[in-house]
A and B are shown apart, each in its own frame.
Chain A
Amino acid sequence: MSGLIPTIGLEVHVQLRTQSKLFSPAPNAAGDQPNTRVDVVDLGLPGTLPVINARAIALAVRAAIAFGGEVQPVSHFARKHYFYPDLPKGYQISQYEDPYCRGGSVPLGNNRACKLTRIHLEEDAGKLIHTDAGTLIDLNRAGVPLIEIVGEPELHDPADAHAFLLQLREIVRFTGVSDGDMELGSLRCDANISMAAVGAPLGTKVEIKNLNSLKMVQRALEYEIRRQTAVLATGGLIRQETRLWNDEQAETRPMRSKEMADDYRYFPDPDLLPLCCDESLIANERANLSELPAARRERYRTTFGLPEHDVTVLTSERVLGDYFESLAIAAGEVKAASNWVMTDVLQAVRDRNLALENFPVKPAALGELLRSIARGELTMVSAKQAFARMLDRGEDAHTAIETLGLHKITEESVLAPLVAAAIAALPAATADIKRGQMRALDALKGHVMRATRGRADPTAVDRLLKQQLGS
């Protein structure tokens, strides 16, 4: 049925990367044995009171600035009531009428953006684990700090919803606000969608939950557009409801109505003072924020002239880009720095399961190594050996090169006998070369390289080989 356009709004829950929970000193960390990361506050024991985690507020403010929202000088926490076994207090502490941030937007690429209604702070609920023996409760997640980012219903294409989430995820990761992992649940999305004719008022809104990846969001929205279009085409009415996405069946199904509370009886939480975000906190987080990924990508393209692949890899994580930039300065060479970061550095991070924040080879040390290569003092093979030692022992480049004796051998008096030995050792290859099969030169060169543990200057070896073979 043509003429109908979808209108999509997204609500995204983002877990904040704090040490402890939003209102209790219990650690905020996924995993571990059930109910081990809990405090009396998280269990909702009698007499317990919430105390706000200043670090969570700082990260929430940082997110607000990153999305260009307006941080409210004063906001309030409210209690949202419903009964469910994963909610120990019988209410969730959230923000209702006075969120800490209003407005802002998420970039969609190509100079487009989706406006945000608001961002508010709230605590996460626990988890239910359904087993054959019955339902179990794990409250490790209860009280984990969340921000809920509420987008305006102004998207009209599931692909835009995908772009919205992609960009949002990148920003929260890049700014250190969150791990932003949809599979692990540190980033969760609910979508709402309605269909209406162009120019007509918005149609009936359907909410979709259980969207655990970017792909699922897009597929669920595409499915829902087909479903609603079909219903409307046959003269049916869309029911206002919440539907759950079933990824295996690739369809949405109505959520059982008892899982929805219709009146949360919000009221201001009397246990908490109004939340005040003063100018110094905002200024501080603005300083912590630095550059956002889009701006950084643009700078890597234009200022550094890096190819698109390098730009994408280096801006995937803030620390990676930071390391690259320090290295580029230390090495005095952009492309070489980029190559080393994308290959050797990232591989070491992966192989040795390291965090880039405390990578044993600092950009200054690696820069020194790159400068040695640029000056022709080191072959690439030797450089990799030096790098391995620097990784193992935390030595600087100079020490590693000296200790391993890696300086390039360019002297003809040293190399000439080695070239002669190679020719003598590999008569078959020598014969091939004489027949004009120049690829066999590589075998001879390799022989010399092995004899010098990679230190022989390849150009000098080339020249001597040609000399001695008389070709």
Chain B
Amino acid sequence: MSVSHQLGARAIAARVQSGELRASDVAQAHLQRIRELDPQLHAFVELWPERALQSAAAIDRAQRSGQTLGPLAGVPVAIKDNLLCQGQISACGSKMLERFVSPYTATAVARLEQLGAILLGRTNMDEFGMGSSTERSAFGPTRNPWQMSHVPGGSSGGSAAAVAADFCPLALGSDTGGSVRQPAAMCGVTGLKPTYGRVSRSGLVAYASSLDCVGVIGRAIEDVALGLQIAGDDERDSTCAKRTVPNYLQELDGRKDLRGIRVGIVREFEEATGDEGIKLAVRTAQEQLRACGGTIVEVALPSVKHAVATYYLLASTEASSNLARYDGVRYGHRTAHTRRLDELYEQSRSEGFGAEVQLRILLGTFALQKGYQDQIYGQATRVRAMLAADFAYAFTQCDVLASATSPMPSFALGSKLQDPIAMYWCDALTVPASLAGLPALSLPCGFAVERLPAGLQLTAPKFAESLLLQVGSVFQQQTNWHLQRPLS
């Protein structure tokens, strides 16, 4: 049976549950498409066809024997290369972990499988999540399905490109400073960064522990809602919230318009959105939210001007600590050139880590140095607290914030590699929610110019994912940006 690769996760699961579609055929069709188109795109670092077909066959057997199937039954998903999966390599986009086979599975991935999803493989990313273009992968860049000469954004560029290219209707990414939302925006798909602590971090390779979130990328909001069902408490992560998890898909049905919803426009975000095409697309989207019944209010986040600097200091600080374990002693890359301990550390790390990772480790190490710690790390944590307070105050005046996701559309490969500061500014609008631990959603809202998508970012108070998804759903009922496809 021929399977449309344009089917969404919800539609696939419904048809697999009813027996109308076989999970094996769905998996086969998607694998086939990936084999045809991914050599140009390079969204996947590795495909797991055997594993995928085995899982799909198991779903089909369960269906035939009349068992109740999960809400993601037979849905092909891709996972970012920093989410561990037992028996598979998780390389984190790094030469350091090129051959690291994980002995355990990340909670988010395990729950995805429990929901019935079929893992297709692992997707490309900037090394350890450090980058905004997926060019910082040790395995080569991923291209943007809308414009092959351009980047897909990052660091979850592989996952965003895979969904945009119809390789899978759903993918997991991770978002530390915008790594799910920004590539979703640049690839014209929907991406959600949940509240910090909403989804377990166990098995997510740490970049910056106080910021890292597992996020969900899909085409339509309902698929993202289904994917977010991986949320919930986990005894293996103390920072994971002990809150009940609503049925996000069901909650979507609760709202048909935005009456009673106050939509905040952040003055500082508007000023930071330099690109005229993005600006226009986002203004139009904000206008549509008003047309759906929302009330527009203007709010201010004065501390936001320090967000990028604060983010890079804090994230680099935590990274310098989190990446200390990659020392060539127990696993990961070990230099072949020395057996002296201090040289073993130095050379293994110099050989195993790419330039951007080394830069951030050095920055983070510097920020924690004796005598500088309070001035740098201490100051950054204080600014972070101010920023969270700014958001809290803004949410007394509105229910969600609406802004651009990225201040600029995708750019040509290589065009920002020599200018790290310019690259960091890609994250200007996404890092504030990360620093405050807030949930934020990026929705396709048009094009900056032809074939370069623009993203609308919605931000809500902590644990208000249902509200975000509802607003996103109303928006997608009124627009068809999420239905547009870069490739036939």
Contact = CB atoms under 8 A, between A and B. Distances in A.
B82, B239, B329 — most chain A CB neighbours (10 Å): B329
Contacts of B103: 40, 45
A258 interface: yes
A115 interface: no
A46, A48, A258, A262 — most chain B CB neighbours (10 Å): A46
B324 A83 contact: yes
A271 B236 CA distance: 11
A267 B235 contact: no
Interface in B309-330: 317-318, 320-321, 323-325, 327, 329-330
A51 interface: yes
The number of chain B residues touching the other chain, given as a range, is 35 or more
Interface stretch (A85-93, A291-299, A447-455): A85-93
A17 interface: no
Nearest to A50: B238
Interface string A28-43: 0000000000001001
Contacts of B84: 46-47
B295 interface: no
Contact of A267 (B106, B317, B324): B317
Contacts of B318: 270
B64 to A, nearest CB: 36
Contact of A79 (B82, B203, B239, B321): B321
Interface residues of A, number: 30
Nearest to B211: A270
A445 B369 CA distance: 86
B97 A90 contact: no
Contacts of A43: 330
B324 A90 contact: yes
A51 B106 contact: no
A263 B370 contact: yes
A273 interface: yes
A50 to B, nearest CB: 7
B345 interface: yes
A354 interface: no
A129 to B, nearest CB: 14
B377 interface: yes
A266 B206 CA distance: 18
A52 interface: yes
A270 B237 CA distance: 11
Contact of B97 (A46, A263, A272): A46
Given A45-B331, A50-B238, A52-B238, A91 B92 contact: no
A83 B329 CA distance: 10
Interface in B203-237: 203-206, 208-210, 235-237
Contacts of B342: 258
Contact of B324 (A51, A91, A137, A270): A91
Contacts of B323: 90
B47 to A, nearest CB: 21
A44 interface: yes
A44 B377 CA distance: 24
A81 interface: yes
Interface in B362-417: 365, 368-370, 373, 377
B238 A267 contact: no
B237 A90 contact: no
Contact of B202 (A49, A81, A265, A270): A49
Contacts of A91: 321, 324
A115 to B, nearest CB: 27
B341 interface: yes
Contacts of A40: 103-104
A85 B102 CA distance: 21
B420 to A, nearest CB: 23
A271 B205 contact: no
A51, A85, A137, A267 — most chain B CB neighbours (10 Å): A267
B100 interface: yes
Nearest to B208: A270
A180 to B, nearest CB: 30
A269 to B, nearest CB: 8
A119 B377 CA distance: 26
Given A89-B324, A90-B327, A47 B238 contact: no
B321 A81 contact: yes
A83 B345 contact: yes
Contacts of A51: 235-238
A290 to B, nearest CB: 32
A88 B322 CA distance: 11
B368 A267 contact: yes
Contacts of A271: 206, 209, 238-239
Nearest to B345: A83
A156 to B, nearest CB: 31
Nearest to B200: A49
B202 A88 contact: no
30 contacts: A44-B330, A45-B102, A45-B331, A46-B90, A46-B92, A46-B325, A47-B83, A47-B102, A47-B201, A47-B203, A49-B238, A51-B237, A81-B368, A83-B327, A83-B345, A90-B321, A90-B324, A90-B325, A91-B324, A263-B369, A263-B370, A265-B321, A265-B368, A265-B370, A266-B368, A267-B373, A270-B208, A270-B210, A271-B238, A272-B238
6 tightest A-B CB contacts, nearest first: A90-B324, A265-B368, A270-B210, A270-B209, A46-B205, A47-B203
Interface of A: 40, 43-52, 79, 81, 83, 85, 88-91, 137, 258, 262-263, 265-267, 270-273
Given A46-B90, A265-B369, 18 more contacts: A46-B97, A46-B102, A46-B206, A46-B325, A47-B202, A47-B204, A50-B238, A51-B238, A79-B321, A81-B321, A90-B323, A90-B325, A91-B321, A265-B321, A265-B365, A267-B373, A270-B209, A270-B239
